[in-house]
Amino acid sequence: MIRAAPRLLDGLVARLPRIAAALDGFPYYGAGKGARWITVADGGWVGGFWAGLLWLSWAWSGASAARQLAEEWTARLAPRRLDRTTHDLGFLFEPSCVRAWRLTQDPQYRAWARDAATTLSSRVQPAGYLPAHGVPEDTRTRRLALIDTLMNLPLLWWAAREGAPAAAEAADRHLTFSLQAFFRPDGSTWQVVHVDPVSGTVQERGTLQGAGPGSCWSRGQAWAIYGCARAFAETRHAEALAGADAAARYFLDHLPADGVPAWDFAAAGRAPKDTSAGAVAAAGLLLLASHHPAPGIQRRYRDAAYAMLSALETWLLPDDAYGLLGGGCYFLARGEGVDEPCAWGDYYLVEALLRAAGHAAVQSE
């Protein structure tokens, strides 16, 4: 797989202009066995993956048409930078605008990303966490925190380096909260925590998309690997490294023999796969390996990521398909995006391949 990464990347990014031409909004998840994308006009929580994928394609190919597409789709996201109703501003603006700023040094992307970071950091609650949904003052929604939010923190650490120190404080506080609230002693994670917004007392733990309250949803576990790895890269906090190691050990110890996780680890062998969880985990393991202080653990994580990418290669869709990576699982209970491509699966697959190839566009992260 690693020797083949450049060839695979050439083929995957070559598909994107054709896929873009057929879209009526940001791709979300597949519907109908290769028929089409379910799309979302304003980007939803996933628009940054499509824009970010286009920026990665330009970084790899250097094609002017790829840059033009990346610019067009990133501009469509810009109005969301002031959206106070969601924690997903990191998902939206870090792969798109922060990466665009790094690649082009265009100050417009820096300004949009800084606005988004200011909006996101304003969500922090007295107890030190970022609620998932609703305006931060809404007493009906501000008690809900998700493991996914770890993936939104890099936007805040970036903004702190760009002159917004309050953003780092918000990110650090949410990281501390997450390491205490979401991790079980065996390294597995809950997806959902309900918490008192003032005292920080955890009132309930469970899941929205997993098999049950006590199970381990594989994509949430992958978010934990990547999120803690990125937190360690950004902060060098020992607690973040410990969290990343714990999440990685659990994920790898519970992978099936074929190297592709089930949608939930508690349902292995009798549940749909989620290749998108595998793609996120592979990218996260390569990121973690690049920053880990222990050479032996670095090698283990790289080898595991390479094996997972090799396993995912068998799930690549045909060249004329509307997505890149089949076999994802967005929301099983609602029957949405089951055994289909998902926007984040496509994005993290390409990111992981670029990390495997040692490309500068991702090595600086």
In whole angstroms, give the CA distance from residue 55 to residue 98: 10
In whole angstroms, give the CA distance from residue 165 to residue 153: 13
Catalytic residue among 148, 172, 245, 264: 148
H or E stretch at 90: helix 89-93
329, 263 Cβ separation under 8 angstroms: yes
Give the length of the chain: 365
H or E stretch at 57: helix 47-61
Helix then strand then coil, in percent of the chain rounded to 5, is 55, 10, 30
Phi, psi of 330 (to 5 degrees): -80, -65
In whole angstroms, give the CA distance from residue 276 to residue 337: 11
Give yes or no: 196 in active site.
no
Tell me the β-bridge partners of 204.
194
Catalytic residue among 10, 42, 83, 88: 88
Place of tokens 């004329």: 320
DSSP state of 32: T
Give yes or no: 148 in active site.
yes
Alpha helices in 122-258 (DSSP H): 153-161, 165-181, 218-235, 238-253
Q: 3-state class of 328 per DSSP?
A: strand
Residue among 317, 358, 337 nearest 37 (CA): 337
Buried b / exposed e across 32-46, counting CB within 10 Å, b at 16+?
A: eeeeebbbbeebbbb
101, 94 Cβ separation under 8 angstroms: no
Task: Report, as residue numbers or ranges, the catalytic residues.
Answer: 88, 148
